[in-house]
Structure 1
Amino acid sequence: MAMEIFPIQPVGVSSLRVKESNSQTDVRLSDLEPKRALSRDTDIFEEALSVFASITPRRMREIAGESFQRDEIDENTYRELSTELPLQMVDRNGNVTDLSTLTDDTQFDYAEYYRTQQSLAEMIGDMDVADSYSKVLDFFARNT
């Protein structure tokens, strides 16, 4: 019987930082604390996500469709981006936000939504779902 071992990753760290930490073989507690050198990478990533911080669901579906046609995203990422948002969402603190009033033309912060969903998936240990959200965030970072 084979057992898969998943690395433990700090919650709320961008996928760029996670990729860096995977290459380290000897991790100390001090390595998990924020470092100054990463702030530039984090700033670039945050700026990239800002484009998707105020976009309508209609425009998001258009971008997803165009990107899928150009083979910039896979089918799962396309499906994630073009699926309607849930009626409610839970933030990182456990607060429920009502999304039932959103329309196709309402501005929505997709960047924060997917960052939150990725963090929650990591917290509960659903790494497949967390990976799908990471792909969405990577797509956002590439398309600014």
Structure 2
Amino acid sequence: MRTLAISLLLAGAVLGGSALAAKAPGRLHAYAPPVIPHALDPGTACTDCHGREIQGGVPAVPHKVGGWCQSCHVPSGKAAPLRPNAFRGEPASRARGARAYPGAPPALPHPVAMRENCQACHGREAHPGMRRNPHPERANCLSCHLVQG
């Protein structure tokens, strides 16, 4: 019985892992957090509706609640963004670097050990020859950009 349970668990991990490579519904790319499926009201905080428990069908927050929800969760594109912006990504013909699949954010072409502060090179004052970050308000680059290799 124990062997069967372990076999099923391993099979699920292998099959589930391959499923992760595809874009999941309600996400911008395979490893992204869920998108925001509704219009945003600048006068309302996410935590006004989303708390630690499900209330009236509104999803609960499964992690520590912070003040920067939109650093990771972005509008689905079906609703107007909170802040209008011109960011559209780069066409595949102009994008540098590998991508997990067409339309995915570019992978990082270098290791991140001892380079955790992406803004040091890619911030508003980008180093010469380095690509400037088009969305510095987002908190964690590794939420979207995978390490290549």
Q: Which has the higher contact order (CA 8 A, sep 6+)?
A: 1
Structure having the larger proportion of residues in strand: 1
Normalised to the residue count of structure 2, the TM-score between the two structures is 0.24
Q: Which structure's CA Rg is the greater one?
A: 2
Query: How does the TM-score come out when normalised to structure 1?
Result: 0.25
Larger proportion of helix: 1
